[in-house]
Amino acid sequence: MARRLDFHSANFAADFDALLDSKRESDSDVHVAVASIIADIRNYGDQALLELTAKFDNLHAETVADLAVGQDEMAAALNGLDADLRAALELAADRIRCFHEKQLPQDFAYQDDAGVQLGMRFTPVDAAGLYVPGGKAAYPSSVLMNAIPAMVAGVERRVMVVPARDGEVNPLVLAAASLAGVSEVWRIGGAQAVAALAYGTQTIGQVDKIVGPGNAFVAAAKRQVFGQVGIDSIAGPSEILVVADAQNDPNWIAADLLSQAEHDEAAQSILITDDVDFADAVEAAVQAMLPQLERTAVAGQSWADNGAIITVLSMDEMPALANRIAAEHLELALDDAAGWSGKIRHAGAMFLGRYTPEAIGDYVAGPNHVLPTARTAKFSSGLGVADFMKRTTTVECNVESFGAIAPAGIALANAEGLDAHALSMSIRMNARGPDG
């Protein structure tokens, strides 16, 4: 049974704080174990990768090259799909590509009033590592969401790693990799895969940035290799906030809440509503649906441990709560959902209206489903094309424009006590001669 909170109860503030502050990830300290794994990969390369893959995934290979998935195998997986499933995958890929193409930044250049030529250009990283989970479920949608933005950005080498217990990779995952134009696929996972991407081995070339969600070991590894490579974010358990009034079908809302609960026992599903009777109906609908789910145990534990229903007297009280929750996914199942969305600043992705469940965004809407979790939507964003690109600024002075701005630069350098900085500019002022 999910916890119930009443906005106007005397203990609401404390209960709400406890909800937000609850630790949903494992308390086990994986830092030391991950550091050891990374050190092994750095020191022993292929040998360590083979041993760790055998240990954790029961995949025994003679060489790291044996862990590669060939382009022909990926193409065969794509061609072997049921026609309807392939059409669905292609529709998703097309919509994701179209949305992300609109994110491509534009270079710019201009001359300012002093005559200085200024500009900015955007270039992709050379190589990106794409981590795709392969534990409790197969996620071809995550392949598309990671690989397609990298391809749109112009990343030349797109390297996917996916855990392959007993050597098996879901054919749908390989089909998605083929469709998304992945350059390399390696049957490796966990912290060892992250380390191999970050530092390289004798067989696997290092990358410049690593993206994609994973378990606690993957998250810890991404933290530890950051600086050697770039990372997108540290993904935590999935979460959803549904804001719904009594004009909704409680079964619809219950299904939306369970759509995230079934991901993981640590996932969190929260409902805010202004109708107590509707809250009761949704809670009853959740309990009725749970036994029908294939992942009933996972969803049930998530709902019982982390789920919550919050009642307010008026939806005017909702935006402040939603901004504090800063949910990964926010559904606004309300009239004038677009208007209400303007009152909310912090959310990874918003789903507006009664016919826009979060699940549509996981697959075929177009925007990325790799999103900030654990309240980090207050300061971070979902995965996009910009995550695979860098900004480079350009400055060009001629003798006149240099002379116009350099004296101020010299004054500031002297004020900071950086003589060589000042000299680097003043020596050029002197070279201009008495006539400027």
Put the strands of the sheet holding 127-131 in their side by side order: 68-69, 184-186, 157-161, 127-131, 209-211, 230-231
Whole-structure pTM value? 0.92
Secondary structure (3-state) at 186: strand
| Catalytic residue IDs | 328-329
Distance CA 161, CA 196 (A): 10
Q: Where in the chain is the domain with CATH 3.40.50.1980?
A: 3-25+236-365, 31-234
Give CA angle at 101 (233, 338), nearest 5°.
Answer: 75
Distance CA 282, CA 269 (A): 12
Q: Which residue has the tokens 């992709």?
A: 124
What's residue 434's pLDDT? 47
Q: Which fold has domain 397-431?
A: 1.20.5
What's residue 136's pLDDT? 53
What's residue 433's pLDDT? 54
Residues with Cβ within 8 Å of 298's Cβ and at least 6 positions away in sequence, in order, are 136, 261, 262, 263, 264, 265
Burial class (CB in 10 A: 0-12, 13-18, 19+), 155: buried
Amino acid present at 77: A
Q: CB neighbours (10 Å) of residue 183?
A: 18
Q: Where in the chain is the domain with CATH 1.20.5.1300?
A: 397-431
Q: Which fold has domain 3-25+236-365?
A: Rossmann fold (3.40.50)
Distance CA 317, CA 319 (A): 6
Burial class (CB in 10 A: 0-12, 13-18, 19+), 431: exposed
Q: Which of 337, 255, 350, 253 has its CA nearest to residue 293?
A: 255
What's residue 432's pLDDT? 61
Q: CB neighbours (10 Å) of residue 248?
A: 19
Q: CB neighbours (10 Å) of residue 262?
A: 24
Distance CA 208, CA 158 (A): 10
Q: Which of 286, 85, 96, 120 has its CA nearest to residue 180?
A: 96
Three-state SS across 362-399?
Answer: HHCCCCCCCCCCCCHHHCCCCCCHHHHEEEEEEEECCH
Q: Which of 268, 310, 266 has its CA nearest to residue 13?
A: 310
Q: What is the CATH number of domain 31-234?
A: 3.40.50.1980
What's residue 360's pLDDT? 97
The pair of three-digit structure tokens given for residue 392, joined into one six-digit string:
């480079």
pLDDT in tens, the chain (436 residues): 889 999 999 999 999 999 998 876 655 678 999 999 999 999 999 999 999 999 999 999 999 999 999 999 999 999 999 999 999 999 999 999 999 999 999 999 999 999 999 999 999 999 999 999 875 567 899 999 999 999 999 999 999 999 998 888 899 999 999 999 999 999 999 999 999 999 999 999 999 999 998 888 999 999 999 999 999 988 888 999 999 999 999 999 999 999 999 998 999 999 999 999 999 999 999 999 999 999 999 999 999 999 999 999 999 999 999 999 999 999 999 999 999 999 999 999 999 999 999 999 999 999 999 999 999 999 999 999 999 999 999 999 999 999 999 999 999 999 999 999 999 999 999 776 545 4
